[in-house]
Copies of this chain bind each other. A is one copy, B any other.
Amino acid sequence: MMIVMKEGATAEQIDSVVERVKSVGAKAHVSKGELVTVIGAIGDREHVANLGLEGYPGVDHLVPILKPYKLASAQYKRGERTVVEIDGRKLGGNYFATIAGPCTVESREVMLETARVVRDSGAQMLRGGAYKPRTSPYSFQGLGDAGLPLLAEAKEETGLPVVTELMDVRDLEPVLEVADVIQVGARNMQNYTLLTELGRAGRPVLLKRGLSSTIEELLMSAEYVLKEGNENVILCERGIRTFEPSYRFTLDLMAVPVLRELSHLPVVIDPSHATGRRDWVLPMSLAAAAAGADGIIVEIHPEPEQAICDGPQALRTDGFAEYVRQLEAAAQLAGKEFAQV
Contact = CB atoms under 8 A, between A and B. Distances in A.
Interface of A: 2, 4, 6-8, 20, 29, 31, 33-36, 38, 40, 42, 45-46, 49-50, 52-56, 63, 65-69, 73, 75, 78, 133-139, 141, 167-170, 187-188, 190-193, 196, 210-212, 214-217, 220, 223-224, 227, 240-247, 250-254, 256-258, 261-262, 274-280, 283-284, 286-292, 304-305, 307-313, 326, 329-330, 333-334
A20 B304 CA distance: 12
Most interface-central of A20, A54, A278 (chain B CB within 10 A)? A54
B253 A284 contact: yes
A45 B35 CA distance: 11
Nearest to A67: B7
A65 B5 CA distance: 9
A274 to B, nearest CB: 7
B33 A246 contact: no
A205 B40 CA distance: 40
Contacts of A277: 54-55
Nearest to A244: B214
A278 B59 CA distance: 13
B258 A250 contact: no
Given A168-B169, A257-B279, 15 more contacts: A7-B67, A8-B78, A38-B65, A50-B308, A52-B312, A54-B277, A68-B135, A69-B136, A137-B223, A254-B280, A257-B280, A257-B284, A283-B334, A284-B291, A286-B291
A311 B250 contact: no
A273 to B, nearest CB: 12
A254 B211 CA distance: 16
Contact of A286 (B36, B46, B75, B334): B334
A167 B280 CA distance: 35
A313 B53 CA distance: 10
Contact of A75 (B6, B29, B40, B333): B6
A261 B290 CA distance: 22
A224 B187 CA distance: 15
A339 B14 CA distance: 40
A63 B238 CA distance: 23
A245 B242 contact: no
A332 B38 CA distance: 38
A285 to B, nearest CB: 9
A326 B289 CA distance: 14
A250 B245 contact: no
